[in-house]
Amino acid sequence: MSQPRVLVCGRLPGSGRAALQDAGIEVEHQPERAAGSLVDVIEPYAGVIVHSGHQLDSAAIAAATNLQVIGRAGVGVDNIDVQAATERGILVMNLPWGNTVTAAEHTIALLLALARNVPQASAALRAGEWDRKKYLGVELKDKALGIIGLGRIGREVARRAQGFDMRVIGADPFLAPTVAEDLGIELMSMADLLPGADFLTIHVPRTPDTHHLIDAEALATMKDGVRIINCARGGLVDEAALLQGLESGKVAGAACDVFEAEPTDNHALLAHPRFIGTPHIGGATHEARERVGEGIARQVAEYLSQGIIRHAVNVQSLPPEEQRAMAPYLELGRAMGTLLSQCYEGIEALNVQYFGEITAMTLRPLTARILVGFFRPFLGDEVNVVNAHAVARERGLRVAESRSTDQRGYSSLIRVEANADRKTHSVAGTVIDGLQGRLVELGGLPIEIAPVGHLLVFVNKDTPGVIGKVGTFLADRGINIADMRLGRSSPGGEAIAAMTIDEPLDAAGLEELVAISELRWARTVVF
């Protein structure tokens, strides 16, 4: 039998090459391979390891007739068509931990540089200036560092900042308060964090929900003289709003390692005297490169030689005979998790209950899909069916799973209870005709609606005219209602409504909506 061949584009440490060769793999290393699609070279390889610049698009996947595994030397898989790879049965894996320390240390480097104007003072000295007053700095001791996103990197930043006697405040909708307390972090909402931070650093993935997370509106709520750091993803900070904040003095200083477009051409921002920029080097240390290169090489080697799967982003772990029957339940589970995370805050535990015929199936992948839906609105592609349970453990979310053959009115039923601040919130769903997922319970009240598109959910006192008021409110804003379902506990009691609308209400619109006196609360869920 011939040796499997692996193509490595970009860096490969000697330890990584050794890991592949020791597994009986032939290594084709192209360290100078230009960025772009690999469609012209991919055909003979069983495995490929790429960095961010090399594209495995749909054309390359189609040409990869021998490919079994793709290894991404890093976290993000934006350069890989994961769907096309999945359809071809190609495993895609990344290395989520390799850059953690390096990225955290670079964040602290920029934090110190901002506090003491290090690059500006150094540049002035090189130019022959000696002006100590111009570069007067601030101490970190007793300052509040706001951290948005408390995953691996955010926590490492917090630990280092605490070494400078900083007060660390954090916002992360999926971190249990007990875990935050153990870490010495004051957990709060982002709305409460922004006005209290002297320094702000962001450690979340870029998703539609986090794009321009820090915009002009957010900046307006912050302290005068706040200092802002972004070492996570370009586009989390609105660069135009940031520049305006620097020019007005609202922002005392800013430092970015990542930009909306890279290489950046935002010369006005780069030229501002209180801005510090670095060219996306947050993960660029000798140690990180060694860890990432060796780590992903070992993962690829273990898969090709032993079938061991680590950190896969598209693995299917259902038995083949169950995959077709379970497909609509997997999508339903994802939608139920998404609804819970977008409707309720401070959730500390999920109790996943399965009833009826579905209990004969393999259920752990379904629970994982519920967790993916729960975390993904905020964490994006950092969470998948492989690491969902680990992400839950890391963030202190307790997950329980139970099953009963009782049918509860449906041949199969999924019910998820979310515990938050001594309150229990629930959602239940089923699959109709083996194909169509339906939500059949929200907040303990019966309702039936498809979890698709944009869903407006609100709870109100069961009195006449409420639906008319909400309909008029939406009509005044040009928002059409595609579907509407109602449920109530009893006449005159508590009622719930779910409306599928053509476009979501923004935060300001929701705030106006809940001003309708009969409404208790309202949320928009984007599936």
Task: Provide the annotated active-site residues.
Answer: 233, 262, 280
Summarize the chain as % helix, strand, coil (round to 5).
35, 25, 40
Interatomic CA distance for residues 427 and 336, integer angstroms: 7
Tokens of 265: 């051409």
Radius of gyration of the chain (CA): 25
Question: Residue 327 has what DSSP assignment?
Answer: H
Q: Under a CB-based contact definition with an 8 Å cutoff, are residues 397 and 349 in contact?
A: yes
Q: Under a CB-based contact definition with an 8 Å cutoff, are residues 282 and 260 in contact?
A: no
Question: Residue 420 has what DSSP assignment?
Answer: E
Interatomic CA distance for residues 87 and 67, integer angstroms: 12
Q: Tell me how crowded residue 240 is: count the other CB atoms within 10 A of its CB.
A: 15
Q: Is 395 helix (H, G, I), strand (E, B) or coil?
A: coil
Q: In what order do the strands lie in the sheet with 494-501?
A: 481-488, 494-501, 454-461, 519-526
Q: Under a CB-based contact definition with an 8 Å cutoff, are residues 519 and 499 in contact?
A: no
- Type of residue found at 474: L
Residues 6 or more apart from 126 whose CB is under 8 A from it?
none
Interatomic CA distance for residues 264 and 248, integer angstroms: 23
* Phi and psi, residue 481, nearest 5°: -95, 120
Question: Residue 214 has what DSSP assignment?
Answer: B
**Residue 326 CA from chain centroid, whole number:** 25
Q: Under a CB-based contact definition with an 8 Å cutoff, are residues 341 and 375 in contact?
A: yes
DSSP H stretches of helix in 64-215: 82-87, 100-116, 118-126, 152-163, 177-183, 190-196
From first CA to last CA, the distance across the chain in angstroms is 47
Closest CA to 222 of 236, 241, 240, 203: 241
Closest CA to 174 of 372, 332, 334, 351: 372
Interatomic CA distance for residues 460 and 466, integer angstroms: 8
Q: Under a CB-based contact definition with an 8 Å cutoff, are residues 391 and 371 in contact?
A: yes
Interatomic CA distance for residues 45 and 41, integer angstroms: 9
Cis peptide preceding 263, ω within 30 of 0: yes
* Phi and psi, residue 441, nearest 5°: -155, 135
CA neighbours closer than 13 Å in the CB half-sphere of residue 192: 9
